[in-house]
Amino acid sequence: MVEEQKFIEALREGTDAAYGRLLDEYQQKVFSTCISFVPNKEDAEDIAQEVFVEIFNSISKFKGNSKLSTWIYRIAVNKSLECIRKKKTRKRFGLMQSLFWNDIPIDRSSYFTEFKHPGILLENKEKTEILFAAINKLPEAQRIVYTLNKIDDLPHQEVAEITQKSISSIESLLFRAKKNLQKRLYDYYKKDSS
């Protein structure tokens, strides 16, 4: 804990060594979290950059009520969700434009344009995309908890700290997320086989 406090102080002072260490320790973790929520490499890289800018701008406000890693994960999750919300808003705006002004082109490309998650090695890219499309349709609280626990492989305790929920709440959200995914995937494969 003393070591982490020294590291946080060095970050607050803006030393090059501290920021080098921050990138060494967290760059891949932050990117993996971002790409779990936004499975498009370019978007995930952009979000990860925003996360580090936010850390740089906000480290002076970090109170130390949680571990530094928990705070960083929380920023990564929030920035990822912000990106998803912006994309959905743009899609809705595009749809409204197409309804009222037929000559304006609307981007109908799938949200999942590319999928390369370093933590998941499934032989069939299509199955992976179907799974992530189903995860993306979960209610937000379930999606966050499921992604952090099952995709990013974080323990329940850390997910609880990041989301600021109790462990029993995390377990309940995970249970409901699994049930919802089972139903969605069952319905998908049932429809696909008929």
In the chain, where are the structural domains located? 1-118, 120-194
Q: For domain 1-118, give the fold.
A: Rna Polymerase Sigma Factor; Chain: A (1.10.1740)
Determine the average pLDDT of the residues in 35-44: 87
pLDDT at 139: 93
Question: According to the model, what pLDDT value does residue 102 have?
Answer: 40
Q: What whole-number percentage of the chain has pLDDT above 70?
A: 76
Q: Which two tokens stand for residue 15?
A: 């030393």
Cα–Cα distance for residue pair 26/64, rounded to 1 Å: 17
pLDDT given at position 63 = 86
Tell me the pTM: 0.69
State how far the Cα of 176 lies from the Cα of 178, in Å rounded to an integer: 5
176 Rama sector, left if φ>0, alpha if ψ -120 to 50, beta otherwise: alpha
Say if residue 15's pLDDT is above 60. yes
Which of 105-109, 135-139, 163-167 shows the highest mean pLDDT? 163-167
Quick one: pLDDT at residue 90?
58
Q: Report the pLDDT value the prediction gives residue 125, as an integer from 0 to 100.
A: 64
Residue 65 has a pLDDT of 85
pLDDT per residue as tens digits for the range 71-119: 999 999 999 999 888 876 655 545 444 443 344 333 333 344 444 555 5
CA distance 96 to 116: 31
What is the H or E stretch that residue 149 is in? none
Mean pLDDT of 145-171: 92
Amino acid found at 9: E
Report, as an integer, the average pLDDT of 179-192.
Answer: 78
120-194 under CATH 1.10.10.10, yes or no: yes
Q: Give the Cβ contact number of residue 159 at 10 Å.
A: 26
In which band, very low, low, confident or very high, does the pLDDT at 120 lie, cut at 50, 70 and 90? Answer: very low
Confidence of residue 131 (pLDDT cuts 50, 70, 90): confident
User: % helix / strand / coil in the chain, to the nearest 5?
Assistant: 75, 0, 25
pLDDT of residue 129: 76
Q: 10 Å Cβ neighbour count for 61?
A: 7
